[in-house]
Structure 1
Amino acid sequence: MPTAAFPPSSQATPASGDRGDACPGSLRLHAADDGALARIRVPGGVLTTCQAQALGHAARRLGDGDLHLTSRGNVQLRGLRGGCGAELAEILDAAGLLPSREHERVRNIVASPMSGLDGRGSQDVRPWLTALDAALCASRAAMGLSGRFLFALDDGRGDVAGLGADVTVRAIADGGAWLAPGSVRVASHDASRAALAAAEAFLEVARSRGARAWRMSDLALSEGEMAQLIRDRLTAESIGHEDHPAPDDVADGPPLGVVGGALSVHVPLGRLSARQWQELTDVSDPELRLTPWRGVVVPTPGTTTAQAAESLARLGAAGLVTDLASPWLRVGACIGRPGCAKALADVRADAARTLDAAGRADLPLYWSGCERRCGHPRGDHVDVVAAPGGGYQLSVTSPTPRTLSAGVPSQIRAALAAITS
């Protein structure tokens, strides 16, 4: 149900580090070089087909027509025309994508995208996701979270547990849930309450110390100190808990193709054209799920194997990646030029020109237009960073730190072979 009318001040504003948390949202747009940018939070990456259609409509009507996936399973609209903030908010609100104006930037939740679809995992985390989002939007304290604070809900397979979230809840084999920080077991029905309690404990500590802390790591507390603070908060909230070792198994994101009861595709550089988004919404019913690895999972309830294969082929024909051998699975990039004023190169175009090199490299590549390396992944990879004087600098940190320069994009292939050999 739509919320109250939105104020006309929902317009693009320049990002500034001295005005607090400047993360863009649906109501606070960011002024980029290619127009205004909106970041729409999509908890768990879950969109109904109708919501996906509304996002596509907003992108075509108000922006450049494309939809950009983030590493948190959210959506960005770019190239938005000036003064469209109120109209965008109305479109999103009518689609149920703005359940709370005060909390819209803090609804950062990643969840195992295949949960409940492929028979893996210890339990389906969708009830946790629904409950946590509702609890966040009902918490006045949670309004103080930054747009960078991240929750992860892992169904036990270990896919999103390794994404460096501030608060992680992971299903365990005995039917309970493991919470971090804190490293404790809580009952499954308390999982979402415990996650919110951990976030509110973080806010309370930050406030008491007068610290500008966007994320857990900004508090500079030891692991033991933070764990005790969260355990104390759980006790105060009457949430039963007990010590439990951290699960140590991890998993990658969803494989591509027809997987269990779903289709899984990868989006090159996370950018979906209007046609690709339309194809996804056409084959989705009743929902689709955006992944933190810039992919899309489309549940296929009641679909035959032949129908699923036909839909997958349709998505592949639209330019989405369905082949595990594709080098696009090993390449990521920031927006670069012309969208970002700080970028020194059109990194996406250069990444596409040297795509064959990525397929032969030992490590995945991430292209950045400047030293900020916005959106760079966790784990071992090759950083390809545009240099102030032109060209690129390539660096790896594992197994041995190395740095090489490539004067022009055509030299990337040779530099990449040398740095990963």
Structure 2
Amino acid sequence: MAPLRTRPTRTRRDRCPGVLRPWPAADGGLVRVRLVGGRISSTSLVALSGVAEEYGDGDLHLTARANLQLRALPLDSGSLSTTVVAAIENTGLLPSRPHDLARNVLVSPLTGIAGGRADLRLVAASLDAALLADPGLGDLPGRFLFALDDGRGDLLTREQDLGLVALDGRSAQLRIGAAFGPVVSLDDSSQALASLAREFLAARGTGAGAPWHVAELATPLGRQVAPDPRLPEPGPPLGFGSHPGAEHVAVPEGVLTPALVTELAGSETELVITPWRGVVVPT
């Protein structure tokens, strides 16, 4: 069982931005659009780029959690206008306003394309559906992170709150903060993670001093067990360049310009934003 980290003293809620909670940066409103597993259709990418061109600085900005940010948006009393919010919603990338901050789900970018022990695309989609189906899970902090490693080890050392590591094509070991949880079937894994997320919300309490992360709880969450011997060794970040079935395209300074969006979107119907500020283009 992994020891709990020293619990910080929180005096406020996290300020991680969302569409409905923009950050007032020097150049205007900054919003984060969450992509489950970094996956985005070329249609939605082009549409979101259009929003950035019409209302913001013209570019999309990649994050270390495989999300997209828009900058320099106009704010009115600290909020986006209803017009801008509607434009973002029309891209299909804000499926639930109450869950704007809660859908932080990292997934091995090449899962289902090449390599790994299991295709986690359905697991990620099922987890997202479980989050969206529960109004209470919309209260997860904006910094709370799920990380799903498909067994190649690329997310094994990533700090996360809840997650899993695939052991084979049918089972995975849960991650609970820095510790490991029970081995579960992949079919049951998304509900197991959603249940742990509910336990976290119940344990953290409410108010400005409530923990942001699992590791900050006063007592361990869930049933923590020893690491399974079938766990992979930690793997390196996905390198840029050609891979079986895909190209990992580096995005200079993490900025998707309209020209680069047009180039990438013209090649495939679905792309994958990676946590290393790149884009996976299936080939």
TM-score scaled to structure 2, two decimals? 0.88
| Alignment match, 2:5 | none
Q: CA deviation at 1:244?
A: 5.4
1:135-171 superposed Cα distances (whole Å, 9 cap, x missing partner) = 0111122122100000011111011222111112111
Distance (whole Å) between structure 2 residues aligned to residue 111 and residue 74 of structure 1? 12
2:17 aligned residue (5, 21, 24): 24
Matched letter for residue 253 of structure 1: P
Is the 1:44–1:113 contact (alpha carbons within 8 Å) kept by the matching residues of 2?
yes
Q: CA deviation at 1:210?
A: 9.3
| Alignment match, 1:405 | none
Over 3 Å off, 4+ runs: 82-85, 208-211
Matched letter for residue 183 of structure 1: G
Question: Where in structure 2 are the equivalents of 1:384-403 lying within 5 Å?
Answer: none
Is the 1:185–1:243 contact (alpha carbons within 8 Å) kept by the matching residues of 2?
no
Report the structure, 1 or 2, having the larger helix content: 1
Is the 2:162–2:174 contact (alpha carbons within 8 Å) kept by the matching residues of 1?
yes
Matched letter for residue 167 of structure 2: I
1:255 aligned residue (239, 251, 255): 239
TM-score scaled to structure 1, two decimals? 0.60
CA 1:281 to 1:214, structure 2 compared with 1: closer, same or farther past 3 Å?
same
| Alignment match, 1:58 | 51
Given the alignment of the two structures, is residue 160 of structure 1 paired with residue 155 of structure 2, yes or no? yes
1:107-162 superposed Cα distances (whole Å, 9 cap, x missing partner) = 000001001112x1111000011000110111122122100000011111011222
1:248-306 superposed Cα distances (whole Å, 9 cap, x missing partner) = 511122222221111111223212222222211122x2111001111110112xxxxxx
CA 1:123 to 1:174, structure 2 compared with 1: closer, same or farther past 3 Å?
closer
Q: CA deviation at 1:19?
A: 5.7
Given the alignment of the two structures, is residue 180 of structure 1 paired with residue 175 of structure 2, yes or no? yes
Is the 1:56–1:278 contact (alpha carbons within 8 Å) kept by the matching residues of 2?
no
Given the alignment of the two structures, is residue 230 of structure 1 paired with residue 222 of structure 2, yes or no? yes
1:83-102 superposed Cα distances (whole Å, 9 cap, x missing partner) = 45322221222221111110
Distance (whole Å) between structure 2 residues aligned to residue 173 and residue 123 of structure 1? 6
Q: CA deviation at 1:198?
A: 1.5
Question: Where in structure 2 are the equivalents of 1:174-253 lying within 5 Å?
Answer: 175-181=170-176, 182-207=180-205, 212-221=210-219, 226=220, 229-231=221-223, 245=228, 247-253=231-237
SS of 1:105 mapped into structure 2: coil
Q: CA deviation at 1:203?
A: 1.2
| Alignment match, 1:105 | 101
Question: Where in structure 2 are the equivalents of 1:17-416 lying within 5 Å?
Answer: 20-83=13-76, 84-118=80-114, 120-173=115-168, 175-181=170-176, 182-207=180-205, 212-221=210-219, 226=220, 229-231=221-223, 245=228, 247-283=231-267, 285-300=268-283
| Alignment match, 1:390 | none
Distance (whole Å) between structure 2 residues aligned to residue 77 and residue 132 of structure 1? 25
Q: What is the percentage of aligned positions where both structures have the same residue?
A: 39
Is the 2:118–2:170 contact (alpha carbons within 8 Å) kept by the matching residues of 1?
yes
Unaligned runs of 5+ in 1: 1-16, 233-241, 301-421
Distance (whole Å) between structure 2 residues aligned to residue 274 and residue 150 of structure 1? 29
Distance (whole Å) between structure 2 residues aligned to residue 249 and residue 85 of structure 1? 47
Is the 2:105–2:148 contact (alpha carbons within 8 Å) kept by the matching residues of 1?
yes
Larger Rg: 1
CA 1:70 to 1:174, structure 2 compared with 1: closer, same or farther past 3 Å?
closer
Bigger RCO (CA 8 Å, 6+ sep): 2
Is the 1:257–1:263 contact (alpha carbons within 8 Å) kept by the matching residues of 2?
yes
Distance (whole Å) between structure 2 residues aligned to residue 18 and residue 244 of structure 1? 34
SS of 2:279 mapped into structure 1: strand
Distance (whole Å) between structure 1 residues aligned to residue 81 and residue 155 of structure 2? 32
How many corresponding residue pairs?
Answer: 267
Distance (whole Å) between structure 2 residues aligned to residue 292 and residue 160 of structure 1? 10
1:204-244 superposed Cα distances (whole Å, 9 cap, x missing partner) = 111299951111122144xxxx2xx4139xxxxxxxxx875
Matched letter for residue 122 of structure 2: P
1:346-366 superposed Cα distances (whole Å, 9 cap, x missing partner) = xxxxxxxxxxxxxxxxxxxxx
CA 1:248 to 1:115, structure 2 compared with 1: closer, same or farther past 3 Å?
closer
Is the 2:118–2:169 contact (alpha carbons within 8 Å) kept by the matching residues of 1?
no
Distance (whole Å) between structure 2 residues aligned to residue 85 and residue 177 of structure 1? 43
CA 1:187 to 1:244, structure 2 compared with 1: closer, same or farther past 3 Å?
farther
Distance (whole Å) between structure 2 residues aligned to residue 85 and residue 54 of structure 1? 18
